[in-house]
Structure 1
Amino acid sequence: MTLVAGVRRRIQRLGPYQSMVLLAIPVAVVEPLKFVSLFVAGKGHWLTGTGMIVAAYAVSLLILERLFRVVRPRLMTLGWFARLWAGYVGLRNRVMPWSSRSTEASETGRG
């Protein structure tokens, strides 16, 4: 078993609220960094600020998305979260119907 697989299995064994806290930790770090990068760029350090914001968005998109895919089944056991997620997916599919084509099976649990 590789290190990544072991970590993934440990994360999958967490309860729903523990999974939510685990997801909130990187968000609490990454989101303020986006504002800090704007401040740095505003002080005249354009390249540093741009690099910081690109890195913050990369972490946000890549790591948080991957972590959410791992903890989503646990979060879906919470009734209120499942209702919010279903509402979000339904709204997204109405606004951008093309976005549901490739992910429709995974959203409904068939993938």
Structure 2
Amino acid sequence: MRRLTRPLWILLAVVFLVEAWLWEHVRPLVARVVDWIAWPALKRRIAAAIERLPPWPTLLVFLIPAALLFPLKLAALWMFSHGYWLGGVAVFGFAKVLGVGVTAFVFDLTRPKLMQLPGFPRLYALVLRGLAWAHGLVDPYKAEVKAWLARTIAPLRARIGRLLRLLAPGRRGRFLRHLRRLRRSVQRGAPRAAPAE
């Protein structure tokens, strides 16, 4: 039974790590976009409004991005159900990345208030422990895949490098002359067709 459940746990850990990776890598992008839009006054007002809120309404502010993007996910499901697989994947992926990025950005603003909620610090610590568990489960496999890729790709890179050096501008003429000589020798060695009578 343990042999059957281990792949499911690994899959769960991979999904968890993908979510964490998206969280870490999309959050700065969303912050950059917000900075690029140049709404510092609006950002300050939002941060001040969140600062005045009690902890429970702050939780609602944290959940707003998920609620706003829910219709996009429903649209993706509709596309899947009508056979528009590529469009559904694109819409769902866009909603997922945007949702994680905006939620991470809002979480940074609301974290101090959320930590005042009863049980939230324990939930946050549980998520961090889950992240550490997922890394502990997946990292050995990730290291094996990286080592395999290094062993597989290194010889291929070396061959491509040799070919590119052979095709370098200074050597290209020599390479083409060698190909012409090879073609002529093949043509000379080929039996000639008998002349038609």
Task: Name the TM-score, length of structure 2 as normaliser.
Answer: 0.43
Match of 1:50 in 2: 89
Residue 50 of structure 1 deviates from its aligned partner by 2.9
Residue 81 of structure 1 deviates from its aligned partner by 0.9
- Stretches of structure 1 that go unaligned for 5 or more consecutive residues are 98-111
The 2-side partners of 1:85 and 1:16 are apart by 15
Match of 2:168 in 1: none
Cα 1:4–1:31 change in 2 (3 A) is: same
Match of 1:78 in 2: 117
The 2-side partners of 1:70 and 1:8 are apart by 7
* Superposition pairs of residues 23-38 of structure 1, within 5 angstroms: 23-31=62-70, 33-38=72-77
**CA-to-partner distance for each residue in 1:30-63, whole Å, 9 max, x for gaps?**
2453243032133133343233212211221111
Moved over 3 A (4+): none
Tell me how large the CA RMSD over aligned residues is.
2.2
* Superposition pairs of residues 91-106 of structure 1, within 5 angstroms: 91-96=130-135
Relative to total residues, which structure has the larger helix share, 1 or 2? 2
Q: Which amino acid aligns with 2:46?
A: V
In structure 2, the residue corresponding to 1:78 is in which secondary structure?
coil
The 2-side partners of 1:31 and 1:65 are apart by 16
Q: Give the alignment partner of residue 2 of structure 1, picking from 41, 52, 56.
A: 41
Task: Name the TM-score, length of structure 1 as normaliser.
Answer: 0.70
- Stretches of structure 2 that go unaligned for 5 or more consecutive residues are 1-39, 137-197
**CA-to-partner distance for each residue in 1:68-105, whole Å, 9 max, x for gaps?**
111111111123111111122123223326xxxxxxxx
The 1-side partners of 2:130 and 2:95 are apart by 27
State the identity %.
Answer: 28
1:12 aligns with 2:90: no
Q: Which amino acid aligns with 1:66?
A: F
Q: Which amino acid aligns with 1:52?
A: V
Q: Which amino acid aligns with 2:63?
A: A
